Structures are given as C-alpha cells and as structure tokens.
Amino acid sequence: MGGDAGTVILIGGAFSYRKFPKMVELAQQLADEYRLTVINYDRRGRGDSSDSPGVYDVENEIDDIAALIEAVGGSAALFGWSSGAGLALLAAASGRVPGITRVVAFEPPFVVNSENFVPPADLHVKLHELIAADRRSEVVRFYMTSGMGMPRALVAMMRFTPFWKSLLATSPATAHDWAIMGSYMRGEALRAEDWNGVKVPTLVISGGKSGDLLRTAARAITEVLPDARHIEPAKLSHNPNIGLLTPPAGEFLTENA
C-alpha cells in the first residue's frame, strides 16, 4: 500500500507476522491517514518467509532490512514493535543501513533493572533445544513465561483461544527475537556507547496501561539515544488500540513531508 509522504517498514515482534491483524490495521491507517507507503513484511521464519534452522544472528535480520530499503529505493523509516523495535534500533545503530531516515520504537522490551523480571541468561539453550525438537507448544509456553515474563496461568488459557494456532506457527522464530534482545534483558542499565550510532530522529512510544517493565525500558532507551523523544499515551497498552498508536507515529513519520 502506498502514498507520497515517504516509506515506512513495519517490523513485528515475537509471534508477530505480516498478516497479524493489528499489523495490517496499522499499515492501513498509516497509508490512508498519513499517505505513507507502508512495507509490512514477514521476518525470518514467519508467514511467507523461509528460515535457516539453527542460525539465529541479528546481523542477518539487519541485512534483511537493508535489502528491503534498497528494494524500495534506498530510503525508508522503520516502525518496530516490541522486539521488532529492538531490531529497528540495532539496525539504525549498526551503521550498515544508511537509508534509514527515522525510527519509531514501540515498547522495546529492554530489561534494565531487576525490580520486575529478568529472563535467564542461558534461555537460548533450552529454547533452541525445544525448537529443534519441534515441540511448539512448549516453545510458546517457555518463551512467554521465561522470555517475556507472562503469568503461567494466562499462557495456559491461551491454548483455548483462536490465535493459539498462529502462536504455534510462529514459535520457532522466537529464537530470532532472543538473538535480538537477549543481551539487553539482563537487568543491567543500557550503555550510551551501544546506541551512539542511532543518528536519526527517534520516537519511543510506551503505553500508560503497560507494565512497569516496558515503561521503564522506554524511558531508559530514550535517555541513551542521541536524538530521541518519548511519549506515553495514557490509554495505550502493549496490545494496543491501533487508533491510539497511529496518530503519534504517523505525525512523527511525516513531520518533514
């Protein structure tokens, strides 16, 4: 879908994929209301994208973003959601994707202290074992509880929801999400030197209805980025009302259009 106000690439998080309903809704609203050309793609191992089992390296996903930007003419903004926001920021920090013009980072799940939840540092060991054995239900449960800090009872209830099948389908790709975020989820403060390469204007969004971990993470990354601002709409959550998320993102992405 396309418009004349610039191009933005949407980058989903764990368990997300190109046809995830809220990603589709976000793409449509950014195109219709802000005249943006929106690229909504499947990250590795999701939807229509293939994967290389056992190979989980954030550099490969940065290369994917670079290829997308080249394909759309060499220039695009990035909108990342959750671990997708972490990927967008790492791509901008890498210095290997010069065509990035702006970044919107919606609730990147950095864990910067030990007050709430800290995943085990060796989470990848069991995660990779479960994925290799194709034990998808266990992957979903393990990643959501040990990687995301969700209550076990809530995850157990998800088995009876209509979207459980999509969780199973995308579960092997969680290894990519951990490759992106694992180093920044150890309960340690973010270091400015890791993010000095993000030279482009960045909008960090968190929701007033989200948990303390995500809200703290948003403030922490904003403080160490060279050119960033942070907003926190009161009624927004990590499972957002797209009608509340689109306006600040769309306005930021089209500021100089």
Q: Provide the residue-wise pLDDT of the chain in tens; the chain has 257 residues.
A: 667 889 999 999 999 999 999 999 999 999 999 999 999 999 999 999 999 999 999 999 999 999 999 999 999 999 999 999 999 999 999 999 999 999 999 999 999 999 889 999 999 999 999 999 999 999 999 999 999 999 999 999 999 999 999 999 999 999 999 999 999 999 999 999 999 999 999 999 999 999 999 999 999 999 999 999 999 999 999 999 999 999 999 999 999 86
At residue 40, φ and ψ (nearest 5 deg) are -115, 105
Q: What is the pTM of this model?
A: 0.96
pLDDT of residue 257: 66
The residue length of the chain stands at 257
At residue 101, φ and ψ (nearest 5 deg) are -100, -35
Is the separation of the CB atoms in 252 and 155 below 8 Å?
no
Q: Other CB atoms closer than 10 Å to residue 107's CB: what's the count? A: 29
Is the torsion defined by CA of 188, 93, 196, 205 positive or negative? negative
Q: Other CB atoms closer than 10 Å to residue 3's CB: what's the count? A: 17
Going from the N-terminus, what domains does the chain have, and what CATH number goes with each?
A: 7-111+189-253 (3.40.50.1820), 123-179 (no CATH)
